[in-house]
Homo-oligomer: A and B are copies of this chain.
Amino acid sequence: MSAIRLLVLGAVRQHGRAHGYQVRNDLEYWGAHEWSNAKPGSIYHALKQMAKQGLLHAHEIAPSTAGGPPRTEYEVTEKGTEEFLALLRGSLASYDQRPDMLTASLGFMVDLPREDVLGLLEERVRTIEQWRKSVTEYYTPEDGPGQLGHIGEIMNYWVHSADTGAEWTRGLIERIRGGAYTFAGEGEPFVGVLREDEENPYATREPHPGDAR
Contact = CB atoms under 8 A, between A and B. Distances in A.
B168 A106 contact: no
Interface stretch (A16-24, A42-50, A124-132): A124-132
Interface in A67-121: 90, 94-97, 99, 102-103, 106-107, 109-110
A198 interface: no
Tell which of A106, A172, A175 has the most Cβ of chain B within 10 Å. Answer: A106
B99 A161 contact: yes
B153 A210 contact: no
> Main secondary structure on chain A at its contact with chain B?
helix
A212 B105 CA distance: 15
Contacts of A158: 99, 103
A149 interface: yes
A203 interface: no
A126 B151 CA distance: 24
A192 interface: yes
Nearest to A180: B150
Interface of A: 35, 90, 94-97, 99, 102-103, 106-107, 109-110, 127-128, 130-131, 134-135, 138, 149-151, 153-154, 156-158, 160-161, 164, 168, 172, 175, 180-182, 190, 192, 208-213
